[in-house]
């Protein structure tokens, strides 16, 4: 991956992240960024967020979500890989 190639970032948020509007906040924030992806609740209580786009845009988007929801997040773990290009829009999935 080069700095200009789109990336796919997968982030797992832990804490009190379900039942607090996390997913819908992430979707609202995504409207301000050129990203595609999804956000969903996991059965173990975490929230998974996957975003694709230019590295600096994905970084800014994830930071904006983390900043907005900081009172509910205990930990965030993430990893990057090359973008797959199979995502359209940014939405809540179930």
Assess whether 23 carries a catalytic annotation: yes
- Active-site hit among 40, 41, 54, 91: 41
- Active-site hit among 23, 32, 84, 91: 23
| Burial label, 48 (beta-carbon count in 10 A; 0-12, 13-18, 19+) | middle
Assess whether 84 carries a catalytic annotation: no
7-15 and 73-82 strand pairing: antiparallel
Question: Active-site residues: which are they?
Answer: 23, 41
């Amino acid at each position: 991956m080069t700095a200009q190639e789109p990336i796919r970032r997968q982030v797992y948020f832990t804490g009190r992240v379900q039942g607090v509007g996390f997913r819908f906040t992430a979707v609202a924030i995504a409207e301000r960024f050129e990203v595609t992806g999804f956000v969903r609740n996991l059965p173990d209580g975490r929230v998974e967020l996957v975003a694709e786009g230019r590295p600096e845009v994905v970084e800014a988007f994830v930071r904006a979500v983390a900043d907005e929801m900081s009172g509910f997040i205990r930990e965030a773990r993430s990893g990057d890989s090359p973008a797959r290009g199979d995502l359209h829009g940014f939405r809540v999935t179930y």
